[in-house]
Amino acid sequence: MRRAVCPGSFDPVTNGHVDVIARAAALYDELVVAVLVNPGKAGLFDVAERMALLREAVVDLPNVTVDSFEGLLVHYCRDRGIPVIVKGLRAVGDFEYELQMAQMNRELAGVETLFVPTAPQVGHLSSSLVKQIARFGGDVSSLVPKAVNDRLVAQSRERQQP
């Protein structure tokens, strides 16, 4: 069985993430989308919310599961017998950083990395930009899955209430 993991913070998941996940899911028998737990960083959504939003976003991909991890990704891979990490690339800057990570992951644990360039229509998306636009009341409905947009709109309403 060909297995891979697609890791990230997914805070929040965007249509760019979903594009990479769907394309990677077509290449592997099982794709685990793994949400990084970073205790030192407060996200917009907690890990449980991010996982729930991801599950809803990939509901039509039967070979995709959602999990979380803390610590080194290569330890997660080793403990679960996952030999490949899938990473989406938006631009050259992403490649430079991700190449170093890929080389280190191979050195540490023999885990390979597959780079998937994002589709042009979603290559500009990032969770940080989506959060910033939403925080200032901008419409992100075309940038994120419906469940994420609904949750961002609800958060905006909560902030506006005295």
What three-state secondary structure class fits 73?
A: helix
68 is in an annotated binding site: no
On the CB side of 156, CA atoms within 13 Å amount to: 16
CA angle 101, 46, 53 (to 5 degrees): 85
143 is in an annotated binding site: no
111 is in an annotated binding site: no
Strand partners, 67: 34
71 is in an annotated binding site: no
Question: Which residues are annotated as catalytic?
Answer: 17, 41, 90, 127
131 is in an annotated binding site: no
Residue given tokens 């469940």 in the structure block? 147
88 is in an annotated binding site: yes
Query: 19 with 119: CB under 8 angstroms?
Result: yes
Q: Can you say which residues are annotated as belonging to the binding site for ATP?
A: 9-10, 17, 88-90, 98, 122-128
Q: Can you say which residues are annotated as belonging to the binding site?
A: 9-10, 17, 41, 73, 87-90, 98, 122-128
